[in-house]
Amino acid sequence: MQTFLQQTINGLSLGAIYALIALGYTMVYGVLRLINFAHGDVYMLGAFAGYFLANALQLDANPSILWAIVVTIGAMAICAVIGILIERLAYRPVRHHSRLTSLITAIGVSLLLEYGGQVVFGATPRFFPQMIRSRTFVLGGVQITNQSLLIILLAVAVMFGLHFIVHRTKIGKAMRATSYNLAVAKLMGINTDRVIAFTFALGSALAAAGGVMVALSIPRIDPLMGLMTGLKAFVAAVLGGIGNIPGAMLGGMLIGLMETALSATAYSTYRDAVAFGVLILILLFRPAGILGTSGTDKV
Amino acid sequence: MSVSLTTPVWKRGLLFVAGASILSLGVACERRPATGGDTADTGEIVIGMYGSLTGDGASFGQSSREATELAVDEVNTAGGILGGRKFKLLVEDDQSKPDEAASAVTKLITQDKAVAILGEVASRRSLAAAPIAQRYAVPMITPSSTNERVTEVGDYIFRVCFIDPFQGEVLAKFAVNDLKAKKAAVLKDIQQDYSVGLTDSITRSFAALGGQVLDPVSYSSGDGDFRAVLTQIRSQKPDVVFVTGYYPEAAIIARQARELGMNMPLLGGDGWVGDALQNGREALNNTYISNHYSGDNPDPVVQNFVTTYTARFKREPDAIAALAYDAVKVLADAMTRANSTDGPKVRDALAKTDVAGVTGRLKINAKRNMEKPAVIQEVTFKDGKVKFVYKTTINP
């Protein structure tokens, strides 16, 4: 029983990581109908931005929660700018072409960031400074670290925050209008270019926050770290229903729990196969995902 | 299948890839004589080293390169071999990837005309590159690939380290005799031949000594979250846990194990020797590894090597460096005895190697392996630094 509870906690901590990234995927998809494959790589850039900031402040030797927050915000700002640049330079020029063109461009951007990252940062993994010292809480024989707890809380906060922004604010209304019909939204006086840029900035800032938090808990970062995590987060977004914000959370948690459950058995070898097996099954039997609605697409 | 513009994009792509692979196969099959570096009998002797200078195994590659350069320079300043000919060392980075290792060795042999190959550390990458050296009849010495299959690739492949069946036995013996362990768990990296092989031999030896081994649990190189597998191990309450992978993951595994309240001894093989191990911090206390040599050995040969290496590279040599150093000396010795750099002649001389090295007596047996003692070291973390402290030597 204790083991079961512990594995559930492990699964939720892992799932929260996927959920954090899946939220960014889903938001961009919700507005643009674009699967931003570079999202996982922005998450990597966020981790690296945090790494350089934290080292510049020498936080490994002097851990401090206050400075850790500063580093996280700094990484978010850097990645927001990167997100806007990616949109401006790569996606906007092909926005009016077919959906496939954008998709292939996204894959191109993803590869550029991964292998460009290898040139700039080197392929050797780096270890993220311990800005916040790891502490373990024990509750009824179940262990959880403060870092894992932070990731879960952040994922939940981001989910509610995004939901609030999209459904309760003016810019959120503009996002939904853009999502519904870009041309008409423009005719109604919405600056769609700005709305889309904002969407990318927000998504990238969230990815950066995720990158820093995850790097705290799993201290090893390298330029390809966004590849597998990003793909699994994508599966999570599809599983929950891509475009649906609570769905991304649900999908992330389910993938995390599933992987943990499998790692706990003798079949740990097949862990990665399962995430993608789930993707195939969900696309075959319920392409809209668990919480998604298969409404008619207005194009 | 006809290719027209109506063929889906992916099909055309697939055909393109298939076509390109056939072309490259054709190029690869075109053999060239490997004696290029030998044509001028008075010129430099080109030898090639491939290693993981970047990527997951960067610490392995850097240590090997430094020690290889040191040994090559020593041979050259002592007047070279074969009547004053000097070694010219070419180094290729394989980015810690097996396919890159294969192309690095192909390039060293076909383009640079290297007459001997040194490398790799990781068995998986040695296994990827060894068939190429074998095909071109160029002797290859791996300094530290311990998986037994590496030298089984062919008669041109040698090594200067012990093999995993022995390493597993050493670790199992130490766990049973010194740590009084009765129940052991094993964590293996399914992507690494080294880890899979070492896991098998530990399991076999530990059971043979009367211990109980739990079902091995696995992870993949590059993983960062080991809590699920560790929790699974914890529930079965083993006395010791063997972590048979390489240092980047070992550091994180140690940390997460301690976070989960698992304070039993952790044991690992020589794959733990790498600078990033220090990220395990305090979690590394109460861990032990088997290793090829111990830098605190008072033998003057060892101390001389430690002093020159430290003076030149401003850090102490690890076991990977010591083996890379020995590999160069073994090669120079074999070429001297063969009185040639010709592949088959050097191969025959290598097979009769018996010299004294930094890591002990280097005598190659019929399977092109070495029978050498192993040391057990205790890993400690104090004042921000990892130290390997000599515990005991175990003979074959």
Least confident of A74-88, A245-259, B147-161, B381-395: B381-395
Over residues B285-337, the pLDDT tens digits come to 999 999 998 888 888 888 999 999 999 999 889 889 999 999 999 999 999 99
Q: Among B54, B190, B228, select the one facing A264 at the smallest CB separation.
A: B228
Band the pLDDT of A126: cuts 50, 70, 90: confident
* DSSP code at position B12: H
Tell me the three state secondary structure of residue B162.
coil
Q: Does A273 touch chain B (CB under 8 A)?
A: no
Gap between the Cα atoms of B214 and B226, Å rounded: 17
Q: How far is CA B390 from the centre of its chain?
A: 21
- Distance of residue A104 Cα from the nearest chain B Cα, in angstroms: 12
Q: How far is CA B189 from the centre of its chain?
A: 15
Beta carbons of A125 and B96 less than 8 Å apart: no
Beta carbons of A10 and B231 less than 8 Å apart: yes
Residues B390, B253: one domain? yes
Q: Does A169 touch chain B (CB under 8 A)?
A: no
Residues B45, B100: one domain? yes
Average pLDDT over residues B117-122: 92
Q: How far is CA B291 from the centre of its chain?
A: 12
Tell me the three state secondary structure of residue A64.
coil
Residue B28 located in a structural domain: no
Residues 6+ apart with CB under 8 A from A188: A177
Pairing of strands A142-145, A136-139: antiparallel
Residue A296 located in a structural domain: no
Residues B198, B284: one domain? yes
Over residues B369-385, the pLDDT tens digits come to 888 888 999 999 988 88
Token pair belonging to B163: 């093999």
**Beta partners for A145?**
A136
Beta carbons of B229 and A269 less than 8 Å apart: no
Residue B220 located in a structural domain: yes
The rounded mean pLDDT for chain B is 86
Closest C-alpha among A42, A51, A34 to residue A202: A42
C-alpha separations of A122 from A48, A115, A135, A224, B150 in Å: 12, 9, 31, 11, 29
Place of tokens 């729990």: A257
Which of B94, B231, B253, B284 is the best mutation test for A, with the most CBs of A within 10 A? B231
For the cut 90, the answer to whether the pLDDT of residue B39 exceeds it is no
Token pair belonging to B30: 């075109």
Gap between the Cα atoms of A31 and A176, Å rounded: 7
Residues B214, B158: one domain? no
pLDDT confidence of residue A265: 75
pLDDT confidence of residue B5: 43
- Distance of residue B382 Cα from the nearest chain A Cα, in angstroms: 15
Residue B3 located in a structural domain: no
Residue B16 located in a structural domain: no
Contact in structure between B361 and B278 (CB atoms under 8 Å) = no
Beta carbons of A264 and B227 less than 8 Å apart: no
Residues 6+ apart with CB under 8 A from A141: A2, A5, A6
Closest C-alpha among B46, B26, B50 to residue B35: B46
pLDDT confidence of residue A15: 92
Beta carbons of A127 and B276 less than 8 Å apart: yes
Query: Chain A 90-149, CB below 8 Å of chain B: which residues?
Result: 122-125, 127, 134, 136, 138, 143, 145
Residues B107, B120: one domain? yes
Q: How many CA atoms, within 13 angstroms, populate the side-chain half-sphere of residue A192?
A: 17
Tell me the three state secondary structure of residue A130.
coil
Closest C-alpha among B238, B74, B67, B240 to residue B160: B67
Closest C-alpha among A42, A74, A77 to residue A57: A74
Contact in structure between A240 and A22 (CB atoms under 8 Å) = yes
Over residues A60-112, the pLDDT tens digits come to 778 888 888 999 999 999 999 999 999 999 999 998 888 889 899 999 999 99
Q: Look up the ipTM and state it.
A: 0.78
> Which residue intervals of chain B are DSSP H helices?
9-29, 58-77, 98-110, 123-135, 164-177, 193-208, 227-235, 247-259, 300-313, 319-338, 343-350
**Beta partners for B49?**
B91, B118
For the cut 80, the answer to whether the pLDDT of residue B12 exceeds it is no
Looking at the 3D structure of chain B, how many domains does it have? 2
Place of tokens 């006395």: B239
Residue B2 located in a structural domain: no
Q: Does A58 touch chain B (CB under 8 A)?
A: no
Among chain B residues, CA nearest to A226 = B222
* DSSP code at position B81: B
pLDDT confidence of residue A266: 67
Residue A242 located in a structural domain: no
Strands of chain A, DSSP E: 126-127, 136-139, 142-145, 220-221
- Distance of residue B158 Cα from the nearest chain A Cα, in angstroms: 28
Gap between the Cα atoms of B99 and B50, Å rounded: 12
Residue B212 located in a structural domain: yes
**Beta partners for B246?**
none
Phi and psi angles of residue B42, each rounded to the nearest 5 degrees, phi first: -110, -10
**Beta partners for B291?**
B375
Among chain B residues, CA nearest to A256 = B228
Residues B277, B198: one domain? yes
Beta carbons of B231 and A264 less than 8 Å apart: yes
Q: Checking phi first, is residue A211 left (phi over 0); if not, alpha (psi -120 to 50) or beta?
A: alpha
Looking at the 3D structure of chain A, how many domains does it have? 1
Closest C-alpha among A235, A242, A241 to residue A258: A235
For the cut 50, the answer to whether the pLDDT of residue A296 exceeds it is no
Residue A245 located in a structural domain: no
For the cut 60, the answer to whether the pLDDT of residue B32 exceeds it is no
Contact in structure between B377 and B291 (CB atoms under 8 Å) = yes
Residue B9 located in a structural domain: no
Domain range for A55 is: 21-234
Q: Among B217, B235, B261, select the one facing A3 at the smallest CB separation.
A: B235
Contact in structure between A38 and A25 (CB atoms under 8 Å) = no
- Distance of residue A149 Cα from the nearest chain B Cα, in angstroms: 13
Over residues B204-256, the pLDDT tens digits come to 999 999 999 998 888 888 888 898 889 889 989 999 999 999 998 999 999 99
Over residues B336-367, the pLDDT tens digits come to 999 989 999 999 999 999 988 898 888 888 88
Residues B313, B200: one domain? no
Q: Among B55, B58, B252, select the one facing A218 at the smallest CB separation.
A: B252
- B210: domain CATH number is 3.40.50.2300
Which of B63, B192, B214, B232 is the best mutation test for A, with the most CBs of A within 10 A? B232
Q: What is the DSSP string of B232-268?
A: HHHHT--SEEEE-S-HHHHHHHHHHHHHTT--S-EEE
Domain range for B88 is: 36-162+298-364
Residues B119, B248: one domain? no
Residues 6+ apart with CB under 8 A from B320: B59, B60, B63, B64, B67, B121, B143, B144, B270, B273, B274
Closest C-alpha among B320, B362, B376, B338 to residue B61: B320
Beta carbons of A264 and B260 less than 8 Å apart: no
Q: Is the dihedral of CA A12, A17, A22, A24 positive or negative?
A: positive
Average pLDDT over residues B264-275: 91
| Residues B191-202 as b or e (16 or more Cβ within 10 Å = b) | bbbbbbbbbbbb
Gap between the Cα atoms of A162 and A83, Å rounded: 17
C-alpha separations of A243 from A34, A94, A98, A250, A293 in Å: 10, 21, 19, 13, 10
- Distance of residue B344 Cα from the nearest chain A Cα, in angstroms: 37
Token pair belonging to B353: 């190697």
Residues B57, B156: one domain? yes
Residues B152, B71: one domain? yes
Average pLDDT over residues B56-69: 91
Average pLDDT over residues A258-278: 82
Place of tokens 């399977």: B367
- Distance of residue B53 Cα from the nearest chain A Cα, in angstroms: 9
Band the pLDDT of A50: cuts 50, 70, 90: very high
Closest C-alpha among A124, A155, A130, A157 to residue A217: A130
B218 interaction partners in chain A (CB closer than 8 Å): 268-269
Tell me the three state secondary structure of residue B80.
coil
> Which residue intervals of A122-219 are DSSP H helices?
146-168, 170-180, 182-187, 192-217
Q: What is the pTM of this model?
A: 0.79
pLDDT confidence of residue B107: 95
Contact in structure between B343 and B350 (CB atoms under 8 Å) = no
Over residues B184-211, the pLDDT tens digits come to 999 999 888 899 999 999 999 999 999 9
Residue B54 located in a structural domain: yes
Residues B303, B155: one domain? yes
